[in-house]
């Protein structure tokens, strides 16, 4: 009498799936940040490009930035006080926080996108009545909505399939 035993076992590659999930989240955050910047930039009127330059600085952090160039219409140089910084898109890029390395970061199991424009009049123009005829701009609010919508839609398509991380092992004993 011959006895044959066959055992099939499936194991889930948790580490591989988590790594793929992390990559999907990070790539989706890139797309969502593009959407945030595009939506915010579309709400900010450009005179010197100083504020727009701060938001445009996100382009340096993205794999595939999709922003339109900033076209200014200031007739003479203007300055941001008290530092007397010339107001233009290039100098505006320096007025963001946190440092670029901390804009995207993992904190435990949470992926954080934290971006702030450190130009004193931006918050006034963006959420209040400010001096700009188009205030309030609603740039960050529009950007937040675009970010969330893009992230939710994009992540669903990128979530790693569990089936792709199941390893099947067959053991035959005769």
| Measured distance CA(36)–CA(76) in Å, rounded | 30
Q: What percent of the chain has pLDDT over 90?
A: 59
What pLDDT sits at residue 117?
92
What pLDDT sits at residue 65?
77
What pLDDT sits at residue 57?
87
Q: Which long-range contacts (CB under 8 A, 24 or more apart) does 80-85 make?
A: 80/50, 80/119
User: Given CA atoms 42, 58, 34, 110 in this order, what sign does their dihedral have?
Assistant: negative
Q: Which of 1-10, 51-60, 106-115 has the highest mean pLDDT?
A: 106-115
Q: What is the DSSP string of 129-169?
A: --SSTT----HHHHHHHHHHHHHHHHHHHHPPPGGGGEEEE
What is the mean pLDDT of the segment spanning 109-133? 91
Which residues, in sequence order, are bridge partners of residue 105? 112
Residue 170 predicted with pLDDT over 90: no
What is the mean pLDDT of the segment spanning 81-91? 92
pTM of the model: 0.84
Q: Which of 45-49, 73-77, 131-135, 156-160 has the highest mean pLDDT?
A: 156-160
- Quickly state the pLDDT bin for 115 (edges 50, 70, 90): very high
Which residues, in sequence order, are bridge partners of residue 6? 172
Quote the distance between the C-alpha of residue 66 and its chain's center. Answer: 12
Residues 136-154: pLDDT tens digits?
999 999 999 999 999 999 9
Where do the domains of the chain lie? 5-173
pLDDT averaged over every residue in the chain: 89
What is the mean pLDDT of the segment spanning 115-122? 92
What pLDDT sits at residue 165?
94
What pLDDT sits at residue 27?
93
Residue 161 predicted with pLDDT over 90: yes
């Amino acid at each position: 009498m011959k006895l044959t035993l066959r055992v099939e076992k499936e194991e889930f590659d948790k580490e591989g799936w988590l790594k793929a999930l992390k990559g999907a989240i990070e790539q989706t955050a890139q797309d969502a940040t593009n959407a945030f910047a595009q939506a915010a930039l579309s709400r900010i009127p450009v005179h010197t490009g100083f504020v727009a330059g701060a938001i445009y600085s996100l382009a340096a952090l993205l794999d595939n930035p999709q922003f339109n160039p900033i076209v200014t219409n200031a007739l003479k140089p203007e300055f941001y006080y008290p530092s007397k910084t010339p107001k233009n898109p290039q100098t505006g890029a320096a007025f963001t926080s946190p440092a670029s390395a901390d804009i995207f970061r993992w904190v435990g199991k949470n992926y954080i996108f934290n971006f702030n424009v450190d130009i004193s009049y931006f918050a006034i123009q963006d959420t209040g009545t400010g001096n700009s005829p188009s205030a309030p701009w609603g740039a960050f609010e529009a950007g937040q909505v675009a970010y969330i919508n893009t992230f939710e839609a994009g992540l669903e398509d990128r979530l790693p399939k569990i089936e792709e991380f199941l390893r099947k092992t067959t053991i035959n004993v005769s």
